[in-house]
Structure 1
């Protein structure tokens, strides 16, 4: 039974002629009957997307190149062609009404602003993809609800990372001379349920060439980077461990952005020391991970958004 049925007496009639009704009219009826639903709040939020401060106009050409390069990702093409089953018709209709922002506008919204948080709410993102990839538990309703509506919190670790990210990026640029472009979230044209917000994209000869990801460990506030790495649980032999959320994060990033390498920067604010690791694209891992996540997203998670609106 569609999730909205008990709350929308006209739904059966609407279903019969849905293909003939403009999307705005469908959304308008939902909004009128369910003003507090997630769909309506997300729709209203979309109308404010252009009011947010956006990146400098000088970056627009670079943003276009980033999105054009992303469209050529072989893995994303394969993921798009991998069919999944919606758990019910309401989920199919819901998916057609959300996550429809234009990628060339989303990429201009600065990271960590309120609109950026809303744009990523119902998407699988780099920092959260590995937890879905590895989750095989039975309680998907709870998992999905916590994923889509997480409790807001900020701890000393996240504060430290945000505080020193710009400093770490500058240290990387000073050490390498690389041309680093910053942007908002990159949304897949063919897989709108995915989004990735890089710490930077390195350009070479005017084209995207590598992903930049930055980690500022908390103990780097009082230790050098050499000391930090000795006790780091995700680095082994100067390389990122495969079975770790950061590995999943950068592999999703390279798949989405169609890049073959990632520079992972570890930064110690204590003495402004850095460690730069060059990680290669693992296409087989990325493809397997993203296809499995897509199946879980559509078959186990998206229905919870409908359920939320039905309550």
Structure 2
């Protein structure tokens, strides 16, 4: 302002002074505007892409340093905290073993129940009616159509009717479970629909063709796999989360740095390994049931295959048995034949088993707990008798496990997320 006063003093007239002031401020504004424009140009050059004419000439000395391997220092695992954990999945993926079903000469398994639906004609209706009558000759419909009632069942052929009675009871149980599902299963079905909507077209097509089932297919699958020792049983469980693997997958979903490719490949890889406990479980399952019925003479055990519920067909459960009382299903039955039972009586075995607590109850943080909880959810049962059979004493020690709603809700939500975001893409890639 000192210079401004000196020059203003030289002006003889006020008008000339005003013109000079306006001209002065105009020049100052133009200077500020040019400064702002230059600042914007510099910022645009720094933030924008490297131009071929100017940026490359600037970056060329730096790029030459990068291309010189002598100037690159080696990075050790200790330079970054836990860098080996971060790079684990990327490094291991290169050396993952390939399962047999990925080879071109191995035939891909297909479900026998995926057939095109025929148009229902009059001849087809007659064919179905004859098939139903032949399958259920003692039903009211069969008796009405034939007009002939068969004599009462004699003791001599009562034994031959047991498989048919088992099948009828099993169908009755499944019909009840499908028509009146557990409310947690309905919640899981809603989550299933939302997650499937976000899947790719290929994944949705695979799901509809290989995973989804109708009520009739679910009934047939369970009946056809009773005994759990045939190829159909292995096929149906090969692309679903079943009771034996649900808890390990549930706990692994909480892993902050998971390797799902390796986890799923190892869990669903074909295996011919049969442990001593598995062999004893197969050999002494009948003895285990007999020991249970001795203590519970008013109950009946129905054999079951794999149960795939139409609401959540990505899940499966193979029950060791369903307990019926007064012709109504009351409990799930899970049988274990521990190796320690070969030498010790039930009172000793109960204290030695690592999956039982000090009071003989099944521990909540164990795979068997997740296994029976999934079975109760699918069959809509409120309790499970968990048996441990001791071979040396021909006796059992049992624990009644109640349905855990809080645990099952978290279990189903986590398994659904894992299946549709990890398992379904894995299946599409390998099939």
- Scaled by the length of structure 2, what TM-score is found? 0.59
Distance 2:375 2:410 in 1: 14
> Which position in structure 2 is the counterpart of 1:128?
245
Preserved contact between residue 108 and residue 184 of structure 1 (Cα < 8 Å): yes
Post-superposition shift, 1:46?
A: 6.6
In the TM superposition, what is the alpha-carbon distance from 1:100 to its structure 2 partner? 4.4
- Shift of the 46–154 alpha-carbon distance from structure 1 to 2, 3 Å rule, reads farther
Match of 1:4 in 2: none
Aligned position for 1:8: none
Q: Distance in 2 between matches of 1:45 and 1:35?
A: 24
Q: Does the 8 A contact of 2:281 with 2:337 survive in 1?
A: yes
* Separation in 2, partners of 1:157, 1:272: 16
User: Aligned residue for 1:190?
Assistant: 311
Q: 1:299 to 1:184 in 2, by over 3 A?
A: same
Partner of 2:235: 118
* Pair 1:293 & 2:410 matched: no
Determine the C-alpha separation between the residues in 2 that align with 1:279 and 1:254.
Answer: 10
- Alpha-carbon shift at residue 214 of structure 1 (Å): 0.7
Q: Does 1:98 align with 2:210?
A: yes
2:201 corresponds, among 84, 89, 93, to 89
| CA-atom RMSD in angstroms | 2.0
Please state if 1:108 is matched with 2:223. yes
TM-score, length basis structure 1: 0.80
Q: 1:42 aligns with which of 93, 105, 110?
A: 110
Distance 2:280 2:265 in 1: 27
Structure with bigger RCO (C-alpha 8 Å, 6+ apart): 1
Q: What SS does the corresponding residue of 2:311 show, helix, strand or coil?
A: coil
Equivalence map 1:148-187=2 (5 Å): 148-177=268-297, 178-187=299-308
Aligned-partner Cα distance in 2 for 1:243–1:147 = 20
* Superposed displacement of residue 238, structure 1: 2.1
Residues 44 and 68 of structure 1, relative CA distance in 2, 3 Å threshold: closer
Indicate conservation of the 8 Å contact 1:99/1:193, yes or no. yes
* CA offset digits 1:245-264 (Å, max 9, x no partner): 01001111111110011111
Q: Kindly report which structure 2 residues correspond to 1:242-281, keeping only aligned pairs within 5 A, or say none.
A: 242-281=364-403
Q: Structure 2: which 5+ runs fail to align?
A: 1-103, 116-161
Worse overlay, 153-162 or 247-256 = 153-162
The 1:80–1:100 alpha-carbon spacing in structure 2 relative to 1, beyond 3 Å, is closer
Cα distance in 2, alignment partners of residues 68 and 45 from structure 1: 19
Query: For 1:43 and 1:264, how far apart are their aligned partners in 2?
Result: 32
**Alpha-carbon spacing, 1:277–1:43, altered in 2? closer, same or farther (3 Å):** closer
Residue 19 of structure 1 corresponds to: none
Q: Which range is displaced more, 244-253 or 66-75?
A: 66-75
- Asked if the contact 1:161/1:218 (under 8 Å) is kept, the reply is no
* SS at 1:276 equivalent: strand
The DSSP-based 3-state class of the residue aligned with 1:201 is strand
SS at match of 1:131: helix
Is 1:78 matched with 2:198?
no
* Equivalent pair of 2:111/2:235 in contact (CA under 8 Å): no
After superposition, the Cα gap between the structure-2 partners of 1:57 and 1:262, relative to the gap in structure 1 and judged at 3 Å, is: same
Q: Contact between 1:69 and 1:208, CA under 8 Å: does it hold in 2?
A: no
Q: Match of 1:22? A: none
Unaligned runs of 5+ in 1: 1-33, 48-54
Matches within 5 A, 1:297-308: 297-308=419-430
For residue 301 of structure 1, give the secondary structure of its aligned residue in structure 2.
helix
Structure with more of its chain in strand, by fraction:
1
**Structure 1 counterpart SS, 2:316:** strand
Q: CA deviation at 1:150?
A: 3.5
SS at match of 2:398: strand
